[in-house]
Amino acid sequence: MNVGDERSISYWMHEAPVIDAPPLTADAECDVVVIGSGIAGLSTAYELSRFGRSVIVIDRGGIGNGMTARTTAHLATELDDFYSELIKVRGEDEARLYHDSQVAAVNRIEAICRDEDIDADFARVDGYLFPAEPDHCSWLEEEYQACKSINVDVEWVEKAPVPGIETGMALRFPNQGRFHPTKYLRGLAQAILARGGRIYANTVHAGDKETDDGVEITTEAGPVIRARAAVFCTNSPTNDKVAIHAKQTPDRTYVVAGRVPKGSVPDALVWDTYEAYHYVRIQPLDETEDLLIVGGGDHRSGEAYDMEQRLADLESWTRERYPSFTGAEYRWSGMVFEPIDFMPFSGRNPGNTNIYIHTGDSGQGITNGVAGSLTIMPLIIGEDSRYAPVFDPARKSLTSTSSIGEFIREQAGAVKNFAEYIGPGDVKSADELQPGEGAIIREGLKQVATFKAEDGSVIRRSPVCTHMGCLVHWNGFERCWDCPCHGSQFAPDGQVLNGPAVKPLAEVEE
């Protein structure tokens, strides 16, 4: 846990912390510096270290404590936004290449587990997509045809393996996968260290500049890292102010997990067709029990405050469909970045020569993160990168009428946010706050992000997000400040938990 990081703790984080690492305390040099220690960052550092490159990984918090530890780690090669939609905006050739990248990612994880002897509970399982409503069957048929057109292995089956309901006809995708994400990250980190790589926690990226032969990364505590290349894998890039942030929107998703008797829920990936779709898998626990992990309830970050209700809805959805579910033992939330044209951004950062980024994972952060590493590593070592053309962060984002409409609606949220500068505030004074609660309070002409700590003391900060000036909102479930525009999160005391913001919320000017 970071200092001041009161965000929800996932089952993975409870069960298997990644590694302890020191902060960077002196200037350093390397071939490649990777900012961010989630699946994309550690995978990229690992691949580069295998090719003899000296790597340094830094993370603003603990190693592997970001969004990778808050996923449910479905290793699905089916696109959660549907290949039928991707084909409409990018055509069959690019959709086929994207699918290839997902297959390659699952294969790569399996191979690394084997080669590095990482016991991360990797298993091949089938994936099932079932209609949430009877009239969604036509969507599945459209998806089935789209999959067939780009050689995705799929078939119709009588039902999905959901014990409590008759799902009706479903699509089965064989040879998907699941694993334990933090056990895997720990294995990757150890493999990087074994090859001479260096990993530093609690080391905050404060600035970056390209030099004649590389890049300099400055850190908040002072030390500078000089490298030939830098790769930003920070979920949302902290090096970029605008270019990428105009092409993706932040969504929040929720997860509940609880025990089921072993064998009562099939070992498979299962998801449905709601726009905020439910996604289900198990994680083996012991000889007698598995953990049933169910996600869903997504909404645009900062636009909903009924987190407890969403988690309760998720739990009752689960009980109805999985009668052996014994109740939510773990509840957590994560941030997902939705790219405008369904595919992530992996490659050279627009306008830079030696700076690379990976972001825009949608609901497929694990496979996209690994696919990103397989894209960026060849670019850095000067080899052909098969997936680079489709993942290029500078690509022109072609869109279908429906996706651009949805994206404009989501981007409009950022514009609307600026109207809140003249809003009344959430409550009138800190007296109305319970310990552990935060709210925006209007004080004369200004607004103040106000948090009441457990001991009754009050922390006041400017609510102006230090990325691009939107106003933050209180996230009561994760007990932090959320920026609805591009997904930054701040601790109650204003420290950055999640980029793209780099600087903490400012002190309040009296």
Site residues, ligand FES (CB under 6 A): 465, 467-470, 483, 485-488, 500-501
Q: Helix axis angle, 181-194 relative to 39-50, nearest 10°? A: 30
CB of 467 to ligand FES, least distance (A): 3
Residue 364 near residue 269, CB atoms below 8 Å: no
Report which of 487, 492, 334 is spatially closest to residue 9, judged by C-alpha positions: 334
Instruction: Choose between 7 and 467: whose C-beta lies nearer to ligand FES.
Output: 467
CB of 255 to ligand FES, least distance (A): 23
CB of 471 to ligand FES, least distance (A): 9
Instruction: Choose between 197 and 360: whose C-beta lies nearer to ligand FES.
Output: 360
Instruction: Choose between 44 and 235: whose C-beta lies nearer to ligand FES.
Output: 235
DSSP category for residue 120:
S
Neighbour-count burial of 489, counting CB atoms closer than 10 A to its CB (0-12 exposed, 13-18 middle, 19+ buried): buried
Instruction: Choose between 470 and 480: whose C-beta lies nearer to ligand FES.
Output: 470
Distance, in Å, from the CA atom of 294 to the CA atom of 271, rounded to the nearest integer, reads 9
**Numbers of helices and strands, H then E, in the chain:** 9, 24
Residue 295 near residue 366, CB atoms below 8 Å: no
CB of 23 to ligand FES, least distance (A): 25
Instruction: Choose between 129 and 485: whose C-beta lies nearer to ligand FES.
Output: 485
Instruction: Choose between 293 and 483: whose C-beta lies nearer to ligand FES.
Output: 483
Residue linked to tokens 């994760």:
478
Return the percent helix, strand and coil in the chain, to nearest 5: 30, 30, 40
Distance, in Å, from the CA atom of 274 to the CA atom of 506, rounded to the nearest integer, reads 40
CB of 245 to ligand FES, least distance (A): 6
CB of 500 to ligand FES, least distance (A): 5
Q: What is the residue-wise DSSP string for 288-333?
A: SEEEEEEEEEEEETTS---HHHHHHHHHHHHHHH-TT----SEEEE
Instruction: Choose between 191 and 471: whose C-beta lies nearer to ligand FES.
Output: 471
CB of 433 to ligand FES, least distance (A): 23
